[in-house]
Amino acid sequence: MNLVDGTTASSLIGRDDELRAITRLLEGFVPADRTSTSDRDARVGGGGTLILMGDPGIGKTALLQAGVAAAHDRGLQVLQGRGSEAERHLSFAVLFDLVHPILAAADGLAQAHREALSRAFGLVRSRDPVEPFFVALAGLELVMEAAARQPLLLAVDDAHAVDQPSRDVIAFIARRLRTERAALLLSTRPNAAIEAAAAVPDTGIALRHLRTLDRDEARRLVHLHQPGLPRTVEEAVLRQAEGNPLALLELPRALHTDRVTDGHQMRDRVPLTQRLEMSFAARLDHLSTPARTLLSIVAVNDSNLLSEAAAAVTLRTGDTVSHGDVAPAVDAGLVTSDGSVIAFRHPLVRSAVWLATPVADRAAAHAALAKVVAADPDRSVWHRACAASRPDEQIAQALDAAASRAIARGAPGTGAQWLERAAELSVDDVLRSQRLLRAAEVAFELGRPTTVRRLMDEAQSLELGAEERARLSWLEGAFDDGTPGDADGVRRLVTSAASARDRSDPDLAIHLLHGAATRCWWGDPGSAVRDLLVSTADSLPLDPRDPRHLATIAVAGDFDRHGQVLEAVAWWAGQQAVSAVQLGSLARAAFVTADFDRVLAFCAPALTELRRQGRLGSLAQVLVFQTFAAMYTGRWDVTRIAADEARRLAEETEQPVWFACAVLGQANLAALCGDSEQAHTVLEDAERVAVLTGNGALLNGVLLSRGLAELGRERPAEAYAHLRRMMVRSDPAFHRTQRAWAVDYLAEAALASGQTDDARGILHALEGELSDVPSPSVVRAVRYARALLANDEDAEGNFAQAYALGTTSSPWYRARLDLARGSWLRRRRQVAASRPHLQSALYTFQALNARGWADRAARELRAGGVRRALDMPEPQAELSPQEWQIAQLAATGLSNRDIGQQLYLSHRTVASHLYRIFPKLGITSRNQLHGYLQTREEA
């Protein structure tokens, strides 16, 4: 049935475009009678997400329910949930409502995910913390399993009021529905976070802003639902409703009440939302006292159970609530009730009742509910906290403990909210600041910068102890990861670290120093400040080989510390049973010191452990290290996959700077492969972040990408202009460490554009700083640059030194060296000697798909008399980065479910990808994957 033509939509005047969008959302599904669960059927999809956004009363719920009716007509299973302001502190409340009908299938989930879901829903008691992403993946698997049996629609009303843990899981699922047999229809008031999520490309999420009705549409709606209104009343309704459908339905009732006998009495200057609330509040006067008390309790309760609200009424007043008390509220259009649950007909009714209830009565309602739900200590203490009118340390402590339990069961958003209220009830500044800073730390982990800033500002206004000042400093440093370090800000962090050291808290001290060092990486505050930071790190009572210490001095220190770091990193490479946190620190230390081979060695086990733990924020960062290490060592297949996943995860975990780093990796690879247009296109996202934050490291990376792109399309003069800026200290894009990694490309551009003299001066100055630096990649880059920029009489010796390193370096380095050597020999008329170098270079460039460099090698060969085409490697199959990643994991023997758990996808999504991968690779089964990939690796 076409939804627009159906009877369900007949009263939704002015919503044809939205109804068509809902129809399109549902059109891609497999018919309901196709119930096979074979792999082929599991791969048939067509899902996505549609968000209906608009002001209160605009008709979002009516549209959503029309979509639900259409889904039922099509034979889809429908799972529904609804946000509620009163229940926002209940972690995973909406998620539980949403998946409760299919929860029995949880027995088929992986054990870790099943346990996480059970703890999140409070089905089991455990002290182990819940990883939110395990809950998200469990929710995704539940939905996908249900969709495999019968296509389904998830319908979430009032998403702006959904508890944050549930909202995070729903967002996780929404980003993964594009090719599934499931769709999400969601309604929300204007919400910046939801709107930002909808703006992310390639997620299958569509957003519709609901408009007000025009005057003709409004009149039709009034005539349909309120026929026979006097003309004066109708005109007053049309004027005051301003095209809002709820107002068009409710204001006629208000204008007929005893209070409002003249349509002009409800002043136009009163905001529409307030006018509707006034309309609903006016109906309370016609209810009995028990009924009004009942509604005031329902307005503050975090449950719709009528029995709870009725019991609270009895505690408050001694009255017993009867059906006769509830029925008039239903008749007045304020609530709905089936005898067991009671719910407000619209969120504006709840707010109207809440506003009409005196503050003291609200407190009394919370106090009564706290006794009614005493068997649930967390709900009870929340109501006690809401009832409190002055500081109460006993309640604050109980709420603090409840917050810890919420965080442990994977509901950090709820925990942060409860910690804030506990801070308000604290009896002194020290306790208040402790709870505020804990709430801020949780908000930071959730990626909520506005909340973090507010809580930090509030804590700063209090009398802080030494430990609280240190934790505030640590939070500032952690929160500003990606913000360049001004000298004063870094000094404050170093001072706080020294204070923590003196209080025998080296762990907090090294956290503070690492945050300060990261600021120094993004923007240099000067050598004096960095020297202070490094000396403070050296003074901590930590093992000098502690990975946290190594990462800190590598990131903040000068080249003269690289030897110490590299020696310790080499020692760690021979150790076993290193934690994911230590591996991440070691990968960062090796990265800064340009030991890119060891970066890859540390990243591999770190990524495995981070995936197992579900720590997606850290996973994105380590993937960035892997991206660039693989690029510099010529493992571009790894770069392509790692950069793609890092970008997706950094976006999902709201880490804009790491997102920009991943984008730079993609841009670099596109440039090296000769796709300069793609490189410039993706660079816009990274450059925007770099400019807005003033991040020098990102700006330096942008220039490298632009230089590589110009080299790729053989515009060496333009390339040299970009790459030279990386080396100039006065340039905002100067970076003391990263410039050393680009000196070889600078030499290439200089040689091709005739600017060797200028480049020699830059290289000479840099060599003075790097004379004792043993970093493998830096040594290779410098020797390569020497060979390219040398005079003819010195070139032979410099090429020999460069080749001495080539036997252990990447194919990319060796191929570029072969191209330079072969070109130099041909220019000296040693044509026969040049050919083996040029042929080897061309073959490698073709294999790597480095088109610009391959074209130069081919031209040099033609100039040397080689006309016959070489036997080149077969072109790579056109797989997306994620498809390559899935193919590689499947080739190791992992099941679809195992792959899904690693990549945070449904196992059915993995099956769908493999179904498309096989024909692209010219194979028919996963058993052939290993052989195909091994052949490709050898090539």
Task: Work out the angle at residue 197's Cα, subtended by the Cα atoms of residues 194 and 200, and round it to the nearest 5 degrees.
Answer: 155
CATH class, range 881-938: mainly alpha
Outline where 74-155 has alpha helix (H): 93-99, 111-120, 132-149
Cβ contact 76:152 at 8 Å: yes
Rg (CA), the chain: 32
Cβ contact 412:406 at 8 Å: yes
Three-class SS state of 122: coil
Q: How far is CA 234 from CA 240, 269, 271, in A?
A: 10, 19, 19
Average pLDDT over residues 92-107: 91
Distance, in Å, from the CA atom of 165 to the CA atom of 411, rounded to the nearest integer, reads 6
What is the DSSP-derived secondary structure letter of residue 341?
B
User: Is it the case that residue 450 has pLDDT exceeding 80?
Assistant: no
Picking from 460-469, 697-706, 796-805, which range would have the lowest pLDDT averaged per residue?
460-469
Distance, in Å, from the CA atom of 131 to the CA atom of 616, rounded to the nearest integer, reads 10
Q: What is the pLDDT of residues 591-619, one digit of tens each?
A: 999 999 999 999 999 998 888 777 788 89
Distance, in Å, from the CA atom of 619 to the CA atom of 652, rounded to the nearest integer, reads 12
- For strands 342-344 and 335-337, give the pairing: antiparallel
Average pLDDT over residues 303-323: 90
Task: Work out the angle at residue 590's Cα, subtended by the Cα atoms of residues 820 and 812, and round it to the nearest 5 degrees.
Answer: 20
Average pLDDT over residues 131-157: 89
- For strands 205-209 and 48-53, give the pairing: parallel
User: Is it the case that residue 879 has pLDDT exceeding 90?
Assistant: no
What pLDDT is stored for residue 374 in this prediction? 94
Average pLDDT over residues 97-113: 88
Q: Is the dihedral of CA 421, 427, 428, 430 positive or negative?
A: negative
Q: What is the pLDDT of residues 675-691, one digit of tens each?
A: 888 888 888 888 888 88
Average pLDDT over residues 185-193: 89
Give helix then strand counts, H and E, for the chain.
47, 7
Distance, in Å, from the CA atom of 846 to the CA atom of 841, rounded to the nearest integer, reads 9
**219 compared with 444, residue with greater pLDDT:** 219
Distance, in Å, from the CA atom of 278 to the CA atom of 245, rounded to the nearest integer, reads 17
Distance, in Å, from the CA atom of 450 to the CA atom of 444, rounded to the nearest integer, reads 9
Q: Which of 550, 636, 551, 651 is nearest to 600 (CA)?
A: 636
Dihedrals φ, ψ of 88, to 5°? -65, -20
Angle at which helix 215-225 crosses helix 231-241, to 10 degrees, equals: 130
**478 compared with 896, residue with greater pLDDT:** 896
Q: How far is CA 607 from CA 218, 511, 817, 896, in A?
A: 57, 22, 33, 19
User: Is it the case that residue 224 has pLDDT exceeding 90?
Assistant: no
Picking from 140-144, 256-260, 652-656, which range would have the lowest pLDDT averaged per residue?
256-260
Query: E strand or H helix at 311, and its extent?
Result: helix 306-317
Which structure tokens are listed for 316?
């408050």
Cβ contact 217:245 at 8 Å: no
Distance, in Å, from the CA atom of 85 to the CA atom of 32, rounded to the nearest integer, reads 36
Cβ contact 209:53 at 8 Å: yes
User: Is it the case that residue 2 has pLDDT exceeding 60?
Assistant: no
| Band of residue 89 on the pLDDT scale cut at 50, 70, 90 | confident
Place of tokens 């039922």: 72
Average pLDDT over residues 207-235: 88
Q: What is the pLDDT of residues 483-542, one digit of tens each?
A: 676 788 888 889 889 988 998 989 889 988 998 899 899 989 999 999 999 999 999 999
Distance, in Å, from the CA atom of 785 to the CA atom of 787, rounded to the nearest integer, reads 5
Q: What is the pLDDT of residues 885-911, one digit of tens each?
A: 888 888 888 888 888 877 878 777 888
Q: How many residues does the chain have?
A: 939
Torsion from C-alpha of 68, 73, 77, 81, nearest 10 degrees: 10
Cβ contact 842:859 at 8 Å: no
User: Is it the case that residue 322 has pLDDT exceeding 90?
Assistant: no
pLDDT cut 70: percent of the chain above it: 90
What pLDDT is stored for residue 577 in this prediction? 67
Cβ contact 340:306 at 8 Å: yes
pTM for the predicted model, two decimal places: 0.75
| Band of residue 35 on the pLDDT scale cut at 50, 70, 90 | very low
Torsion from C-alpha of 97, 102, 108, 109, nearest 10 degrees: -30
Average pLDDT over residues 75-91: 88
Task: Work out the angle at residue 79's Cα, subtended by the Cα atoms of residues 75 and 85, and round it to the nearest 5 degrees.
Answer: 150
Which structure tokens are listed for 633?
């060592």
Range ranked top by mean pLDDT from 30-39, 276-285, 759-768: 759-768
Cβ contact 151:37 at 8 Å: no
Question: What is the per-residue burial (b if ≥16 Cβ within 10 Å, else e) of 652-688?
Answer: bbbbbbbbbbbbbbbbbbbbbbbbbebbbebbebbbe
**873: buried, middle or exposed (CB in 10 Å: 19+, 13-18, 0-12)?**
middle
Picking from 256-260, 299-303, 399-403, 925-929, which range would have the lowest pLDDT averaged per residue?
256-260
Name 859's Cβ contacts closer than 8 Å, sequence gap at least 6.
Answer: none
| Band of residue 440 on the pLDDT scale cut at 50, 70, 90 | confident
Query: E strand or H helix at 77, and its extent?
Result: strand 77-82
Three-class SS state of 367: helix
CATH topology for 3-104+140-209? Rossmann fold (3.40.50)
Enumerate long-range contacts of 38-43, CB under 8 Å, 24 or more apart: 39/911, 39/915, 40/915, 41/148, 42/148, 42/908, 42/911, 42/912, 43/908, 43/911, 43/912, 43/915
Per-domain residue ranges of the chain: 3-104+140-209, 215-269, 271-373, 881-938
- For strands 48-53 and 182-188, give the pairing: parallel
Distance, in Å, from the CA atom of 479 to the CA atom of 472, rounded to the nearest integer, reads 10
SS3 sequence of 445-503: HCCCHHHHHHHHHHHHCCCCCHHHHHHHHHHHHHHCCCCCCCHHHHHHHHHHHHHHHHC
**898 compared with 82, residue with greater pLDDT:** 82
Outline where 754-791 has alpha helix (H): 756-770, 776-789
Picking from 260-264, 273-277, 715-719, which range would have the lowest pLDDT averaged per residue?
260-264
User: Is it the case that residue 107 has pLDDT exceeding 90?
Assistant: no
Cβ contact 412:442 at 8 Å: yes
User: Is it the case that residue 234 has pLDDT exceeding 80?
Assistant: yes
**934 compared with 169, residue with greater pLDDT:** 169
What pLDDT is stored for residue 494 in this prediction? 92
Which structure tokens are listed for 370?
């706290």
At 804, the amino acid letter reads A
Name 364's Cβ contacts closer than 8 Å, sequence gap at least 6.
Answer: 316, 387
**409 compared with 350, residue with greater pLDDT:** 350
Distance, in Å, from the CA atom of 297 to the CA atom of 363, rounded to the nearest integer, reads 10
Which structure tokens are listed for 294?
């009942």
User: Is it the case that residue 798 has pLDDT exceeding 50?
Assistant: yes
Average pLDDT over residues 55-69: 93
Q: Is the dihedral of CA 53, 56, 57, 61 positive or negative?
A: positive
Give the mean pLDDT of the chain. Answer: 85
What pLDDT is stored for residue 501 in this prediction? 92
